[in-house]
Amino acid sequence: MNDHSAIRAQGLRIDYPKHSVFAGLDMTASAGKITAVLGRNGSGKTTLVRALATLQPYQAGSLRVFGHEVSESAQLIRGIIGLAGQHAAVVPELTGAENLYMVARLYGLPRRDARLATTKAIDEFALTEFADRRVATYSGGQRRRLDLGATFVNRPSLLLLDEPTTGLDPHSRNSLWDAIRALPTQGTSVLLTTQYLEEAQTLADEVVIIEDGCVIRAGSPQDLRQTMASTTLRLVTDTALTHEDADMLAARIGGEVGHSKGNTLTVTGQFDLDSAHRAITDQALSTQITEFSVSPPTLDDVFLSLTGSEARP
């Protein structure tokens, strides 16, 4: 049977001294795709990345990268993957170009090939403007871009990105997204963890949602949104909503409370803008509604529905 997965975990168990992170994780990530892993704080996203990078042992089950068992083929796997953790792993005293060349040499590339790989990474990741400056002078976004370029000098078959855009300003984040989006066209499969649902929705071909050490839902962003088969109404009020007001509104509209926090309420169900507007204007409330909107379900709605909380790092 042909296996077209870049990553396949079956019955994966990873134990820490006081608890198990995964007690039987099953998941796949397709080759040639960008797969995003979502989960609440402590759900094991970073642990999974570390295990795939041969940095975290596992106690049972199977974890394969392009068919190779991680626990049995660590040296081989290290040669075909790239890893960018949550913090840029670059040397501040060196220039960007010197960092790239150093990494290429550490991967075993001959001097000439290392120079070519450095030049190519500078071009592909738009580093030309600051490649000859010391990294100590870089902005956060420039460091992350350089870090991503460094993971790519050996042309990895699989790139592991652990929250690659955390802490970046919107411009830097969008710029890095462009670089990540292009990777599969160059033959690199990508697995990324993220705290930004917008990031998963924008970049990912596949999304895997982890909760309590298990995959609770997986599919394309579009497929996951369609599983809700409902519309989301978002309300903002001038004061905080009481539980009674939230329940009353949801019942009147004909939906269910999706999320209620402070003066913001979401209601999910099958309704249109006109019927929702009538229900809102007809209902006597202890607070005034200042704005409302109706929209199809987003990946945020799916995540909230499945886990009961927002994604956080």
Q: How far apart are CA 49 and CA 262, in angstroms?
A: 35
- Geometric angle at alpha carbon 124, from 121 and 126, rounded to 5°: 95
pLDDT score at 253? 77
Q: How far apart are CA 90 and CA 109, in angstroms?
A: 19
Rounded to the nearest 10 degrees, how much is the dihedral formed by the CA atoms of 158, 68, 215, 29? 40
Which residue bears the tokens 């995959």? 215
Q: How far apart are CA 101 and CA 33, in angstroms?
A: 28
Structure tokens at 102: 């150093």
Where in the sequence of the chain do the CATH 3.30.70 domains occur? 231-296
- What is the greatest pairwise CA distance in the chain? 75
pLDDT score at 313? 43
Question: Is the CB of residue 150 less than 8 Å from the CB of residue 100?
Answer: yes
CATH class of 231-296: alpha beta
CATH superfamily of the domain spanning 5-220? P-loop containing nucleotide triphosphate hydrolases (3.40.50.300)
Instruction: Name the pTM for this structure.
Output: 0.76
Nearest to 183 by CA among 84, 74, 44: 84
Q: How does pLDDT run along the chain (313 residues), one tens digit per residue? A: 456 899 999 999 999 988 899 999 999 999 999 999 998 888 899 999 999 999 999 999 999 999 999 999 999 999 999 998 877 688 999 999 999 999 999 989 999 999 999 999 999 888 999 999 999 999 988 998 899 899 989 899 999 999 988 878 888 888 889 989 999 999 999 999 987 888 898 999 999 999 888 899 999 988 887 765 567 778 888 888 788 878 887 887 777 787 788 888 888 777 666 767 776 776 566 667 788 777 766 777 777 777 765 554 4
pLDDT score at 1? 44
Nearest to 203 by CA among 231, 180, 222, 183: 180
Where in the sequence of the chain do the CATH 3.40.50.300 domains occur? 5-220
Structure tokens at 304: 């909230």
